[in-house]
Structure 1
């Protein structure tokens, strides 16, 4: 090897070494867990490359960044499936064995691919793979460092998210016992928290740390995966080019796409956090500071009206720190979008080759494409990770199929509809069958009560503030594309129009139109649920526009590239540049929210660590020792009674932090999951009876009915029941196995 080549390789290694050193400096004692988690994902991604390389064969990087998620999805889902059908137990050992079996199967596939002469490992574009890995590591490190300034699994729905993880860590069967309803199993989309537990078991780390690592891991992927997808789209659109600045465009656009999906805010920050305060300052008026959650609680709140809605987006989720269904599913959603683009590339390549085939070969090819089958499997998994995403992306998948079939079947209506219907049916059947172990025991009757026409509507200026920027850029892109293709065209049929559009343009159009549709749907209809009074559209708007934001994020950046670089209309170039300016401005939301929530992150000395339960020392000093005694000394999942409380409150701190089930937990959550208010109200009264009654026989009867093994008496119990709390009777029911040395907190083990 030439000396200059050696020098070049050394310089390439320097950024990686600097990132590793920086991680050790910033994360302090947590760095070993961070490295372990990162290396686990890296090794799993390498092991899955034969499969990913086949699915993404026409990508420059062969789907390298998607391989991590592919490995997690395949091995994690297979483990869950085998546990759910009671073939294996959910233990660390079985997680490792199933993962190794998947890796072995991938190796066999690699050997077969090599014999067939296919290249499924990205040897050709190692520079791109290396750059993607650096970007992912940097994004993962950035969010992990921030998380260490506010690591507490406390507030919003974090008790639920963390409690689900602790409950599954204890359980050898799935679904685990509902930690807030000891007589039943978890009846919610627990797939996201399951994958966090699956990786926790594989890594051998503690759930106190991996709760935060899972959310920062997703945040890192939410940057790297859009980079990979949009990088490929821009590369495909540019084709071969000798220009140095054009060679840099895929990387620049990819980075902007990663920022757009994972870091940027919306125009609410620009309008209400920058422009309006600036005008008020000029007028000499007092200006209040901008509170970053306002960007997600705008329609219904400003002005204050009856129709309260939610319109969150990834950056807000990553800052807030929830590990909820829609957050973890981001990485699987991005994998699906990558698969759809890879599938469309494959279909378009076959269509351009004009190969002839028999009818049997035709249908085999249409229905047995690996990308389509993989998309169907992912859609099935969405039932369990976040059902809303199944509905949304089934429509997106069918849209992709329709577009490609209009082109592939040359506009012949019967063939277009026939092939599209067959592919949609295939995907739906596959998605339904593979998730049956979940859906057969999952009761949605109370969560979904039908669909109704929207009685309230967002004000036009509110829609413009939230989604005007990506929406307008998308419309400008689509209109310019239509004008470009229809001008001077001899035949103006839908087939000839779609056939004339380059694939990356077509994919961007698909994502943009779907995103616009998701924004408009809550203005027309909503899904009825228990929040109908005053918050009728909230959940519908939340789940639909969250995915719209992700698709808009990539479409908007691609549209700016397309209008600025490829387009020739000077007015559109100016508008695209203005759009880019405002997009960059929305990124200020990231800095504002990070400072508001995490504090002075530029001071590493204030880093607190990743332990999600450390807040117990300061927020629950009376209970912390008792909670830790339970976690350290109690195996399996016996019922531990604690006082119940309202959702989002400090109640259920024992069950949430230990995963040990209690009789009744957060009221509104169990109302949503169970629907039987009479049953829930009866349980509340009986819990009160246990803590306050002087009738020993009745108390023993209730404890036996609910199979209670331990009674926890701490701060919440004393606050709720006050002087009515019958300590003497409670202590007489068994052995006091824990008594705090400083506070009157104790735990009784029932005889």
Structure 2
């Protein structure tokens, strides 16, 4: 049955992708087929979100795609020739999807880390796809305190597909991985004449800390974890860790939108001035939806990418500033509004990027901001204990090495740039100083390329995290944790694109094309012309390479470190491990999942990252309090988390308070299993309950 779930999932993804593809042909040309994969998802997110907002079935979101599909089919936009010419995009998508699907098949459990939270949100949305979604860990509350759009996208797809939430959970990361890969591959084809596949490497490389701990002889599980905790009291994740770790958390789901947004920015930077008005409008709308989705996907992203969008607009303007400068004067017989200068400014200034995109990105999700109920960032602070140079190199050393090698000639021409190391070193910010040098060298280049800009931006982000942090409620010990964590992942994406583009340029120069065979390979593997204008030559070498890639994709997950930590695998159902480890709970939870109508259930609470909260996490049904530290972070003191924890204990232990407290929180059922017996002296007013389920280790009662 699980294979049918995968097939249904792929059919839906392929359907929405094919529907939107013809719409993107004009603005994106040879990139349209591939980019329609992630673009269709963010459009689906917007449409389904509004269905939830107006309490309409999320299936209505498909109407837009159905109309597009029939319209473009009628117009003859789907031809075998074009589809075959774009098959490379399908190959990239499905290879990466299958790779991560196999990883999830081997490590599927909804068990440790943030998996309980991620599935709780997902299941809650599938149970009741309305906006704002119900918070399953805080009865009576909503997820208006969190960025939930990533879970919303896949929850809505789960509703439409009819797939069990515990299986949908393990289809999220394959979908994210594949969509991110397609966008990175598109960037590779945009920036490189050859070796475009190098741009997929940021998804696979580890940081130097991984190699360091491996050399020390640590176990592979320890190596993996320690490499992401290199900077004191901070998280230094990198994409391949995030994917293998298996949490479909907000920062991971956002990869697909980040990569799409970066592609769109690079495309605009390179093509804006030669694009027609229709193309610019479509690009502006795509940018608006992508940027507008960021606060709902992973709010930290927009803090970086919104300024980067405006910077891109400035760079586009200056990229074209030297054209027709002799016409840019106000003559005496002309007013300013009729002058050539005014006409030039209105044409050269990318006003759609400066005005339309920011405004539209806010408007499209305006109801989200009006419903938002969180304090957010409380201010900024100065990092008084910067990262040690050794730890800094262990995290960012690879990118620094590539960029210093790339900038050697720049530093020979401008050796004074090295002097910027001195003030940073004097104040102890050596890591920041190491970043300033190549960043400045790249910025000072006369003809800045996209990879120059991305490299310098990535370095500037790292410099920011070394000197400044955003104040949240993580406490004094972990004051830098989220700033380093969230921003360094953005920097990783930018630096990865920059560095592997430089590597590709170097290889292209070192090993130039010099034969008809290589040119043929370039034609079939890269497709440098627009769709419909290419003849695909046969090339056995390319077929062999594809076969090798498929073998690697299928074999590599088996060779990867075992990260199921004893929870078992070889299934796509993330709840299967409970059947083995907690069989009585499994039977009871499955019974609960089969119930119709409203279910709000009392269960035991006992801190975060434990097996407790397992009922709400596996069903998505609201409980009084799930993981308390999470709710405390989201809701602050106004959430009265401590009071809820105390009330749960009273419900289980004090018959006189039990019923009134259950009614206070809108509870309909109460769960009594081994976990409840372990921490409470269970004493319920049984005469006021109806027993609806019992096995040897778990009982479920319903209020009369």
On whether the aligned pair clears a TM of 0.5, the verdict is yes
Deviations 1:693-739 (A, max 9, x none): 142xx322212211211011112211111xx2104x2x222211111
For 1:733 and 1:675, the matched residues in 2 are separated by 35
Residue 476 of structure 2 aligns to a residue in which SS? helix
For 1:123 and 1:348, the matched residues in 2 are separated by 33
The aligned residue for residue 102 of structure 1 is: 65
The aligned residue for residue 669 of structure 1 is: 630
Alignment pair present for 1:293 and 2:225: yes
Q: 2:268 aligns with which of 343, 361, 380?
A: 343
For 1:540 and 1:225, the matched residues in 2 are separated by 25
Instruction: Quote the offset at 1:105 in angstroms.
Output: 3.8
Instruction: Quote the offset at 1:525 in angstroms.
Output: 0.8
For 2:111 and 2:631, the matched residues in 1 are separated by 19
The aligned residue for residue 517 of structure 2 is: none
Moved over 4 A (4+): 106-112, 120-128, 287-290, 364-368, 411-418, 478-485, 497-500, 590-593
Residue 671 of structure 2 aligns to a residue in which SS? strand
For 2:498 and 2:449, the matched residues in 1 are separated by 11
For 1:499 and 1:518, the matched residues in 2 are separated by 19
The aligned residue for residue 228 of structure 1 is: 186
For 2:445 and 2:28, the matched residues in 1 are separated by 22
Q: 1:145 aligns with which of 98, 102, 125?
A: 102
Residue 371 of structure 2 aligns to a residue in which SS? coil
Q: Per the alignment, do residues 443 and 479 of structure 1 end up closer, same or farther by CA in structure 2, a change over 3 Å counting?
A: farther
Residue 179 of structure 1 aligns to a residue in which SS? coil
For 1:470 and 1:382, the matched residues in 2 are separated by 26
Please say if residues 319 and 593 of structure 1, whose CA atoms lie closer than 8 Å, have aligned partners that are also in contact: no
The aligned residue for residue 205 of structure 2 is: 264
Alignment pair present for 1:471 and 2:412: no
Q: Per the alignment, do residues 558 and 80 of structure 1 end up closer, same or farther by CA in structure 2, a change over 3 Å counting?
A: same
For 2:22 and 2:348, the matched residues in 1 are separated by 33
For 1:299 and 1:74, the matched residues in 2 are separated by 37
Please say if residues 165 and 659 of structure 1, whose CA atoms lie closer than 8 Å, have aligned partners that are also in contact: yes
Unaligned runs of 5+ in 2: 329-340, 415-439, 512-552
Q: Per the alignment, do residues 294 and 170 of structure 1 end up closer, same or farther by CA in structure 2, a change over 3 Å counting?
A: same
Residue 711 of structure 1 aligns to a residue in which SS? strand
Please say if residues 644 and 665 of structure 1, whose CA atoms lie closer than 8 Å, have aligned partners that are also in contact: yes
The aligned residue for residue 178 of structure 1 is: 135
Residue pairs, 1:108-507, within 5 angstroms: 108=71, 129-186=86-143, 187-235=145-193, 250=194, 253-258=195-200, 260-274=201-215, 276-277=216-217, 290-300=222-232, 308-349=233-274, 369-410=281-322, 419=349, 423-445=353-375, 447-477=376-406, 480=409, 501=447, 506-507=449-450
Residue 329 of structure 1 aligns to a residue in which SS? helix
Deviations 1:362-418 (A, max 9, x none): xx9599532133212211111111111112211222222121111123399996999
For 1:417 and 1:36, the matched residues in 2 are separated by 47
Q: Per the alignment, do residues 523 and 381 of structure 1 end up closer, same or farther by CA in structure 2, a change over 3 Å counting?
A: same
For 2:71 and 2:209, the matched residues in 1 are separated by 52
Q: Per the alignment, do residues 121 and 548 of structure 1 end up closer, same or farther by CA in structure 2, a change over 3 Å counting?
A: farther
For 1:534 and 1:180, the matched residues in 2 are separated by 26
The aligned residue for residue 717 of structure 1 is: 676
For this pair of structures, how many residues does the alignment match?
614
For 2:173 and 2:571, the matched residues in 1 are separated by 15
Unaligned runs of 5+ in 1: 1-28, 115-119, 236-249, 278-286, 301-307, 351-363, 486-493, 569-586, 601-605
Q: Per the alignment, do residues 160 and 480 of structure 1 end up closer, same or farther by CA in structure 2, a change over 3 Å counting?
A: same
Residue pairs, 1:51-90, within 5 angstroms: 51-57=23-29, 61-84=30-53, 86=54, 88-89=55-56
CA-based RMSD: 3.3
For 2:80 and 2:411, the matched residues in 1 are separated by 39
Q: Per the alignment, do residues 547 and 416 of structure 1 end up closer, same or farther by CA in structure 2, a change over 3 Å counting?
A: farther
